[in-house]
Amino acid sequence: MPSINLDKMSVKELNELIANAQASIAKKQKEERKTALKDARNAAAKWGFDLDDLVGGAKKSAGRKTGKRQLKPKFRHPENPDLTWSGVGRKPKWVLEAEAAGKIESMRVQG
């Protein structure tokens, strides 16, 4: 690899070098990810599996970039069925109010 004398470069040239290096890194990461995914699919197929089956169908869902899994609702608001709570994490205000009024069990999702 040729040596670059950074001391002789202007700030503009250094910034261009950085930008070009970052673009090259991004391109190589994309290529390596594609190769790794292909290799993983081939390795899974060698054993008779589909990669998605082995990793629990971990495909990225549209608009959902977090790695969090979607939990089934355990409680549903009686007046607004769009409001649900899985029973995990911080309790929504409507759940706290229902608990205080002794009505939370009537909001439990059946099934």
d(CA 87, CA 95): 10
- Top pLDDT among 57 and 101 is at 101
Tell me the pTM. Answer: 0.45
Q: What is the dihedral of CA 35, 40, 45, 47, to 10 degrees?
A: 150
Per-residue pLDDT of 10-20, as tens digits, reads 999 999 999 99
- The answer, yes or no, to whether residue 60 has pLDDT greater than 70, is no
Extents of the domains making up the chain:
8-54, 75-107
Contact 61, 70 (CB under 8 A): no
Structure confidence at residue 105 as a pLDDT band (50, 70, 90): very high
Token pair 């261009």 is at which residue? 16
Rounded Cα distance, 65 and 99, in Å = 33
